[in-house]
Amino acid sequence: MTVADTAALTYDNRTAFAEELLEIARVDERVVAVCNDSVGSSNLVGFRQEFPDRLINVGIAEQNMVGVGAGLAAAGLIPFVCAAGPFLTGRSLEQVKADVAYSAHNVILCGMSPGMAYGELGPTHHSVEDLSWLRALPGLDIVVPADRHQTRQAVRQAAAEPRPTYLRVGRHKVPDVTAPTDPLERGRFLLARDGGDVTLIGTGTLVSRTLAAAALLAADGIEARVLNAAYIAPLDVEAIRAAAAQTRAIVTAEEANISGGLGAAVALTVAALGRGPVVRALGLSEFAPTGSNDLLLEHFGLTAPAIAAQAREALAG
């Protein structure tokens, strides 16, 4: 079955995360899970059943949770520290900075249900500032898989080559946009579609929407290059420079605040060239209202038609 064949089907990346974590834990006793009373929402029920002695539930104490993860890493284990994105990053940012990034401990921080996946629970549960906060921390990898295949690869990669990492594990169901054999390379974007007119750079849940936008543009005779930005840090500077040299505009799309996120990183890279195409960053710049994930994505113009419209305007300007 090809990627195109599965385009109508959608999947919860947390399921792929949980399944892959179990598979690697069965062959590597160093793999442990740490959570903040979020066994269910982090999809760790199966892990707890199979490895009850390797799941540490610290309760609603996120700062302590990250510290425990750092301690386990210092002892030679491979901790996957799991919590809802807003609480993992917002409540324990100091510990992420000092105990993980600065101390270079091999902790895999798993931000579950990021972006606006908890739409109806409102801004307190939206995790849209995480990319901005964490990009400011040197030495911390930031991985945002676009689908279940990249999620599985990210989990395997984190266990095989553990390093300070933030893994954004999406809850909002998305279609497959990669094949199981497509590479997930550290610090590299994946070319999802080639084109010479405009470059669309999407990350996470927005990759499928940028691909759909590219199809709309193609109907108008506009060829869009689509880059799957699974790695936000390290950043694929080479791919951004190539896009700036070879296409006439760049549009980024992220389910996150554009201040300091993917769009800001791309714009800064293009600005350093001295001259280059216009860069339009699509995402959030204010607190989101309350509503379903799909409604909120539409509210902020993060739909295929809206992304395509921004690309047309960027080319016209």
pLDDT of residue 317: 79
Q: How far is CA 141 from CA 5, 202, 282, 283, 311, in A?
A: 32, 18, 22, 21, 29
Question: Measured between alpha carbons, how far is 162 from 143 in angstroms, rounded to an integer?
Answer: 13
Percent of the chain with pLDDT over 70: 98
Architecture of the domain defined by 9-169:
3-Layer(aba) Sandwich (3.40)
The position carrying tokens 């030495």 is: 139
For 135, residues 6+ apart whose C-beta sits below 8 A from its C-beta are 142, 232, 233, 260, 261, 265
> pLDDT digit string (tens) for 234-286?
999 999 999 999 999 999 999 999 999 999 999 999 999 998 899 999 999 99
Q: Read off the tokens for 135.
A: 């990009």
pLDDT of residue 275: 87
Q: What is the mean pLDDT of residues 297-304?
A: 96
> pLDDT digit string (tens) for 27-75?
999 999 999 999 998 999 999 999 999 999 999 999 999 999 999 999 9
> Burial code of 157-170, b = ≥16 C-beta within 10 A, e = fewer?
bbbeebbbbbbbbb
Instruction: Enumerate the domain spans of the chain.
Output: 9-169, 190-316
Instruction: Please determine, looking at this structure, whether the domain spanning 190-316 carries the CATH number 3.40.50.920.
Output: yes
Model confidence at 1: pLDDT above 90: no
* Distance separating the N- and C-terminal Cα atoms of the chain: 41
Model confidence at 3: pLDDT above 90: no
Q: CA 306: distance to chain centroid? A: 21
Domains 9-169 and 190-316 equal at CATH topology level = yes
Question: Measured between alpha carbons, how far is 243 from 239 in angstroms, rounded to an integer?
Answer: 6
- DSSP for 187-234, written as a single string: T--EEEE--SSEEEEE-GGGHHHHHHHHHHHHHTT--EEEEE--EEES
Question: Measured between alpha carbons, how far is 299 from 301 in angstroms, rounded to an integer?
Answer: 6
> pLDDT digit string (tens) for 101-124?
999 999 999 999 999 999 899 999
Q: What is the mean pLDDT of residues 17-29?
A: 97
Report which DSSP code applies to 100.
Answer: I
pLDDT of residue 12: 94
> pLDDT digit string (tens) for 124-137?
999 999 999 999 99
Model confidence at 167: pLDDT above 80: yes
Model confidence at 4: pLDDT above 90: no
